[in-house]
Every structure is written in structure tokens, then in C-alpha cells.
Structure 1
Amino acid sequence: MSFQWPTLLWTLLLLPLLVLLYVWLLRRRKRTTVRLASVAIAKAALGAGPGWRRHVPPLLMLGALGVLLLASARPMAVITLPLSQRTIMLAMDVSGSMRAEDVKPNRLVASQEAAKAFVNALPRDVKVGIVSFAGTAAVVQAPTTSREDIVAAIDRFQLQRATATGSGIILSLATLFPEHDIEIQHITGQRKFPGSNPIGDDPAKPKFTPVEPGSYNSAAIIMLTDGQRTTGPDPLDAAKMAAERGVRVYTVGVGTTQGEVIGFEGWSMRVRLDEATLKEVSSRTLGEYFYAGTAEDLMKVYESLSAKLVVERKETEVTALFAALGALLALVSAGLSVLWFGRVA
């Protein structure tokens, strides 16, 4: 916890002084008590006395003052809050290796089912966009809150040759930031993301300024892949672009790190998971890497991501909470004093 006005914390030194004042008043009252002839007469005159209850209201009032003095310093705390606006880009591998059956029924179907369950579990106001990548990348669904459109886009996946993991990240960034004029000609054949201004149209437009990695809390990218990059831009260069825009990239590895031989239409190839690169991509962007060796693992990964991506940890002023607690303690103190002694003392 931190404080915006920490110098006001010095006022807490008043609390020990109040304690000393209270002790002095008790002793003074004891000295001025009428001396009676005997203990029996004293008990008859005073009864059992208030005992420990005498000290409860003053103690509560002291706590109230302490909490209110802390509130005056304007405390700040890191708390978890639901995000008011969020866009999640799913960049999903549709290369030929996704037909491997080490993840049942096969990697593609398992990833599709897990992605659809993930989307349906998200709050309805979270936008989701879908990018598929193999040798090239394509936006199969622009960010939307329509779960039906998202699920339909996932069901339309078609397997292709090659694996361009970097292209999936870059096209996801271009979808999130069309105003940044991200060059994607080498990814899709288009010069830039549709809807952005042609290069040079606005010379007065400010240049892109990098931000701190992980600082952009309104969007995230989840990239799922089962293989190594075989074409397209380097995924580490793409990770650098994401880090400069503050976007976290969460990578999900599917399949085996040892590799598996798959065949299709007369050709065969060995495919293996490049965990080292996926871990580096997530590390550079302050995201996280997940490994899913089975369909059940993949479901659990998406459940974990769902919990991570719809909330944010943010430093927030909590003065109002301290003030409310202080007021509550003061009211309880006054209430007990009236209940037990018939006065506020």
C-alpha cells in the first residue's frame, strides 16, 4: 500500500498521546473517588462496576481516529477490478500438422472445441477477434461481441501448408491498431490492414511511440500453435512489435515436443513444438506460456486464460473505504457507550 499524501501519516503520532491522556484521566478519576469505610460498603455503593466494558468504547473510538488519519493520507492499493473494455484476439494455427491425432480426436478439432468453450465463458461485453495462420494469415472474424459469429468463424477453419507464427501475431496487432499503419503486405498480400490510411496520406500524423511492455490493458493476444515457424516473419520480431504496443501475448503449445510424423496426400513430415520460441514470445510481452498435451489440458488452459483476461490489477485510491471503516467504528463506539452507560463518553 502507498499514500498520495504520506506526510500526513505523522498525525498518527497523536494516537499514543491520546492513550496517555486516557490513562491519566483514569488515574485522576481514581484519586478523586470518595474513600469509603470498607470494601463491603464500596461494593454496595458501586456494585460490580463496568469492568472491561468501560474501555471498549474508547478503544473503538481510538481505532476510528487511527483509520480516519490513515484515510487523510489518501491510501492507494493494488486491487483486482473487472475490465470495462476488453478485446481478445485468438491467433490459431491451421497448418497441416494440426491434423495430428496425438491430441484426440486431432489437434485442430481439440483446439476448436476449447476455443469455442473459452469464448462462450467470457463476459458478453468482451470482444473477440479470430486470426488463422498457416503459410499466410487471415482475419476470419473481426472483433465482435457476437458469440454466434465467433463460433461460426472457428468452425470454418481450413488446413493449409506451412506455419507462419509471426504472421499470426502481426495481423492480430494490425487488427487491434488499424491506425498504426502496420505493414502486412508480406502476410496477406495487402499493403496494410483494411480501413487504415494509405502511407503518406497524412504527413502530420504523429509517429508511433513505443510504450512499456504489458501496459496496454484493453487487449490481449492468445496464440495457439503446434509447430515451428517455417515461413513468414520471425515470431520474436512480432513479439517485439507487440511489446512496443504494450500488448501481452499468451502462447499455447499443443502437441509433443519430441515431434510426430504425419502424412497427407502422399507426403509426410515430422512436426515438433517449438516451446523455446513460444516461451520467449510470451516473456518479451509479459504474457505467459501454457503447454497442452491433451484435449483436457487445452480446456484447462483456456479456463485459466478466461480468469486472467477479464480482470486487471490496478493501483486504486481506497480513501473512501478507510473513511467508511472509521465512521463505522465511531458509530459502534457511540452506540455501545449509550447502551451500556446511557451516555456518549
Structure 2
Amino acid sequence: MYFTFTDPKYLFLLLVVPLIVFIYLLTLKSIKKRALKFANFDAIARVQGVSFFSRDIVTTILSSIIVLVLVLSVSGLTLHRQASASSFSFVIAIDVSRSMEARDLLPTRLDAAKETAKEFVNAAPSTTKIAVISFSGNSYIHQSLTDKKDMVIDALDSVEISAIEGTDLYEAVVTSSNLLVAEESRAIVLLSDGQVNVGELEDAIRYANQNDIIINTIAIGTKEGGETVYGISKLNEDTMKALSYNTEGDYFDAQDKQSLLDSMGQILKLAKKKVSIDLSGYLVLVSILLFVIEYILISSRYRLLPF
């Protein structure tokens, strides 16, 4: 669970809170100076109709809280949390950069990823919608969301190594998000060796979180690496872990084909979704309630308070 703001530019208004406290303390100091002329604080309190601490501080605290709540409201405070998903829609995103030609997973990383994805499709409930994209320096949609498994399998068969160089995770996340935009429960299953050299990882994470998308990553490859036309290509775990952990997904380190199959099954069992709750409306109601309480206290001049 975490919080974000849709309009953080208004947070500077929180400076009003310490300003209210400062004005209160300044006013209190001024009244106390005047009270010294009487040499009796109780006497000046009766004359001025003011309590030096306990009573006035109540309205000061209430005013500060009202300002705080209103600022959080206009700033678009949003709560993000996870919830169990009764149904789910997935985008299978497969890395097709040249490093996926490595043979540390036989026959190649790409072939192992495709076969594993097929097992995932076959194991998914019949109502599950699945789409397929591939990505390298750009992204390509092989199949939009559908619950027809034969179409998804055909799409996976069409995935091949791309002639376009690079691995752009950000574009892969954007493309996947566009396919999932109308779905209630959204997740990406991303299979890659983590060798990212195009686009910013932070941008991909930010975009996924803004769209309530969970990214489950499956590492394709080994730490020892495999031969490619560019030399030895090793698994980059850090990239894959960062992508999954920062989007509340799960990371799976699959060192062989059986591990890949187990990972896909685990993702289906752990089906969860992100839920975003805009707290602005609730905060406005709270501020109205506090304002009414403050008004009642001021109008009654604290007659109901024991101090």
C-alpha cells in the first residue's frame, strides 16, 4: 500500500499550517505581555474572554487540520493497494532482442520463453483474456486481448527475433498498458534477460504504477550467460527485480525450462490486482465536518468544555 498525488504542485500550500501555528504563538505572546500589566493571568483572561492555552489551542489545531486535509484533497491524494482478483487479463511480453538467441536455455532463450508462455496459456482459466506482444528496440502486437487460446498460441508461434536492435522496456510497458486500459484487473508477464539499453527503467515503472498495472517478470537466461553474435550475454537480475518489485509484481529466477513452467503456474495462483482510491472526496467531507465542529466550539465559546 502506498500513496501518490495527482496534483502535487499544490502541496506547497501546506506551509499555511506552520503559519497558523506561528500566528497563534505570536498572538499568545502579545496577550501575555498585556497580562503582565495586571500581574494576574486569570484576571486578563476574564477581561479578554481568552484562555491562554487550552481553549484557543483547540481551534488552532482544528484550523491546522482543516487546512492540511483541504490541501491533501486539492493535491489529489490517492491510495494504492492490492486486492484479490476474481478474474484477470494478462499481456505476455516477450523480449526478442538478439541476446535472446543465447543457448544457455535450450534450444534458445526465445524458444524456451515461447514454450513456457504456451504452457501458461493452456493453464489459464478459460475466461482469462491474454494478449501477446514482442519487444526489442520497438514493440509489436501479435495478438490483442482475447479468451480464445488457439489464437494466443498462434500469436506466440509467430514471435521471432527482431532485426531492430535494442531492448526498450518502456515502450513494451506502454504498449501493454494500452491493451489493458479497459480491463479491471491488469497484469503484464514479461519474459526477458534484462539486457535493457533503450529507454528509462524508471519511466517504465512510473507508467505502470500510474495505470495500476502489475508487472511479473521472469528472468530468461543464466548468470553464466550464453553465446550470441555479440559475445557472451548474461542475465541482468537487477533490472528484472526492480521492474517487478516496484510495481508490486513478482520476480521469478528461472534457470531452466522446468523453472519457467513453475513460474508461470505461480503467477496464475498469485493473481492480484491494484486498486486506486481517490481520497479527495472523503477529505472534503472530513474538512466540512471539522469546520462544523470548529464553528460550534467558537459559537458556544467552549461552554461545553471542562477547562
The TM-score, its normalising length taken from structure 2, stands at 0.58
Q: Is the 8 A contact 1:167 1:235 kept in 2?
A: no
- Confirm whether residue 223 of structure 1 aligns to residue 225 of structure 2: no
1: CA distance, partners of 2:238 / 2:202 = 11
1:246 Cα deviation (Å)? 1.7
1:261 Cα deviation (Å)? 3.1
**Counterpart position of 1:327:** none
Q: Is the 8 A contact 2:212 2:274 kept in 1?
A: no
- Confirm whether residue 294 of structure 1 aligns to residue 265 of structure 2: no
Q: Which amino acid aligns with 2:145?
A: P
Structure of larger gyration radius: 1
1:224 Cα deviation (Å)? 0.6
1: CA distance, partners of 2:171 / 2:274 = 30
Aligned-partner SS, 1:142: strand
Runs of at least 4 residues of structure 1 off by over 2 A? Answer: 257-261, 311-314
**Counterpart position of 2:107:** 105
1:90 corresponds, among 89, 92, 104, to 92
2:205 corresponds, among 215, 239, 257, to 239
1: CA distance, partners of 2:221 / 2:143 = 25
Change (3 A) 1:313 1:243: closer
**Counterpart position of 1:172:** 176
Aligned-partner SS, 1:257: coil
Q: Which amino acid aligns with 1:175?
A: L
What pairs up with 1:184-203 in 2 under 5 angstroms? Answer: none
2: CA distance, partners of 1:81 / 1:227 = 28
Q: Is the 8 A contact 1:236 1:280 kept in 2?
A: no
2: CA distance, partners of 1:131 / 1:278 = 18
Change (3 A) 1:166 1:313: closer
Q: Which amino acid aligns with 2:227?
A: V
1:262 Cα deviation (Å)? 1.4
1: CA distance, partners of 2:84 / 2:167 = 37
What pairs up with 1:45-60 in 2 under 5 angstroms? Answer: none
1:109 Cα deviation (Å)? 1.2
2: CA distance, partners of 1:176 / 1:235 = 20
1:260 Cα deviation (Å)? 3.0
**Counterpart position of 1:305:** 267
Identity of aligned residues (%): 29
Change (3 A) 1:313 1:90: closer
Change (3 A) 1:82 1:223: closer
- Confirm whether residue 251 of structure 1 aligns to residue 217 of structure 2: yes
Aligned-partner SS, 2:197: coil
Q: Is the 8 A contact 1:169 1:223 kept in 2?
A: no
1: CA distance, partners of 2:205 / 2:84 = 27
Q: Is the 8 A contact 1:226 1:273 kept in 2?
A: yes
1:87 Cα deviation (Å)? 0.9
2: CA distance, partners of 1:97 / 1:289 = 20
Change (3 A) 1:135 1:122: same
**Counterpart position of 2:148:** 146
Indicate the RMSD between aligned Cα atoms, in angstroms: 2.2
Q: Which amino acid aligns with 2:188?
A: I
1:272 Cα deviation (Å)? 2.0
Q: Is the 8 A contact 1:249 1:288 kept in 2?
A: yes
2: CA distance, partners of 1:86 / 1:260 = 35
1: CA distance, partners of 2:97 / 2:167 = 6
2: CA distance, partners of 1:307 / 1:138 = 28
Change (3 A) 1:257 1:236: farther
Q: Which amino acid aligns with 1:262?
A: T
2: CA distance, partners of 1:219 / 1:313 = 8
**Counterpart position of 1:117:** 119
1:227 Cα deviation (Å)? 3.5
Q: Which amino acid aligns with 1:249?
A: I
1:312 Cα deviation (Å)? 6.8
1:98 Cα deviation (Å)? 1.4
Q: Which amino acid aligns with 1:242?
A: A
1:236 Cα deviation (Å)? 2.3
Q: Is the 8 A contact 1:129 1:144 kept in 2?
A: yes
Q: Is the 8 A contact 2:214 2:273 kept in 1?
A: no
**Counterpart position of 1:155:** 157
**Counterpart position of 1:260:** 226
**Unaligned ranges ≥5, structure 1:** 1-79, 179-215, 315-345
